[in-house]
Amino acid sequence: MADTTDPRLTPLAASLPATVPFVGPETMERQRGTPFAARLGANESAFGPSPRAIAALRDATPEMWQYADPEAHDLRHAMAAHHGIAPAHIMLGEGIDALLGNLVRLLIAPGDAVVTSAGAYPTFNYHVTGFGGTLHMVPYAGDHEDPAALIARAAEVGAKLIYLANPDNPMGSHHPATTIQTMIDAVPDGCLLILDEAYVDLAPDGTAPALDPTSTSVIRMRTFSKAHGLAGLRIGYAIGPAPLIAAFERVRNHFGVNRAAQVAALAALADPDWLPHVRAQVVDSRAALSRIAADNGLTALPSATNFVTIDCGQDGAFARRVLTALLDHGIFARMPGVPPHDRCIRITCGPADAMAAFAAALPRALAAAQD
């Protein structure tokens, strides 16, 4: 087969595999030739955004011909007031993924050491390798990321960055705030902890340590994609020390956070009743997924997120057959990619009709996987 690589690529780019962190459900639907009956693989909020956000988007539609405010002034100040911190400690981005990419671009040169957990969020790894960083992997402790082991490895290799998600994706587990604060306090000099809190709005009280935006040891990443239901608009934010936040201005896409995203996020932030409503729906859905798993002889792991990771009870090969069969039966789902977590599948919470579709498909998928 002829080499189709463009010869003008840099040596680093040419060395990278031609892969993406995730294959989207739309791609899978095109391959299948039919839509999925239930979209339960991307951890979007099927419960939707605040009605205030929907109304604000509708009202702002005639203004969509305009570029967005590149400083996101109104939203940044509203978020600062919400968190009780100064706007200089907040940076908006096109979801956490874009913020991670810009942060890695700012701090990681070819060969720099970065520590993460084997099987943790793969998009972070994608950014690190894309800028030439060297990844050092630490295994989970059971179904939890291991803060102490991450810190120890960072000290051993002289890491510039450590990545940890709390709550965790893909396992749904979480550590209490005291454990995370102990980790922050132990970050080695010259290193930075990236604390990905994409799911923290759905976690039990006492999961997030108190905000200290002046700390030079940690940068916090949060999003409107999960509990706020705005995944399609791509808007997240970082909270960190002012000099580091200011450095994003050197590399970010200044018009990347579009007008619709800013409008919707501002309205969502102004609706204090929506998040409790979504949290209650997620709790009910997690319970439903746990019942469905138990009804089929499987084990649902405890979750602090808007998804439930289900232990299929065998090895990764069996779990992959279950996942393939679910896709064949119209259920878009995903699974962890690294042993021993690949014994599991991961199902996003959703309304009753989506849960019913999954409940109907799972026994058929398990039967197909046994053949």
Q: Judge contact between 353 and 285, C-beta under 8 A.
A: no
Q: What is the mean pLDDT of each run of 10 residues along the chain (371 residues)?
A: 76 88 89 93 96 98 97 97 98 98 98 97 96 98 98 98 98 98 98 98 97 97 98 98 98 96 98 97 98 98 98 97 97 95 98 98 97 77
Going along the chain from its start, the domains and CATH numbers come out as 23-46+274-370 (3.90.1150.10), 51-269 (3.40.640.10)
- 3-class SS at 203? coil
The pLDDT score that the predictor gives to residue 1 is 41
∠ CA 159-208-188, rounded to 5°: 20
Could you give phi then psi for residue 180, rounded to 5 degrees?
A: -70, -40
Q: Running DSSP on this structure, what letter comes out for residue 208?
A: S
Residue-wise DSSP of 209-248? PPP-TT-SSEEEEEESSSTT--GGG--EEEE--HHHHHHG
Q: From the centroid of its chain, how far is CA 11?
A: 30
The pLDDT score that the predictor gives to residue 3 is 59
Distance CA 97, CA 92 (A): 11
Could you give phi then psi for residue 350, rounded to 5 degrees?
A: -165, 180
Q: How many CA atoms lie within 13 A of 277 on its CB side?
A: 15
Distance CA 320, CA 337 (A): 10
Q: Judge contact between 347 and 307, C-beta under 8 A.
A: yes
Q: Residue 223 forms beta bridges with which residues?
A: 236
Q: From the centroid of its chain, how far is CA 214?
A: 24
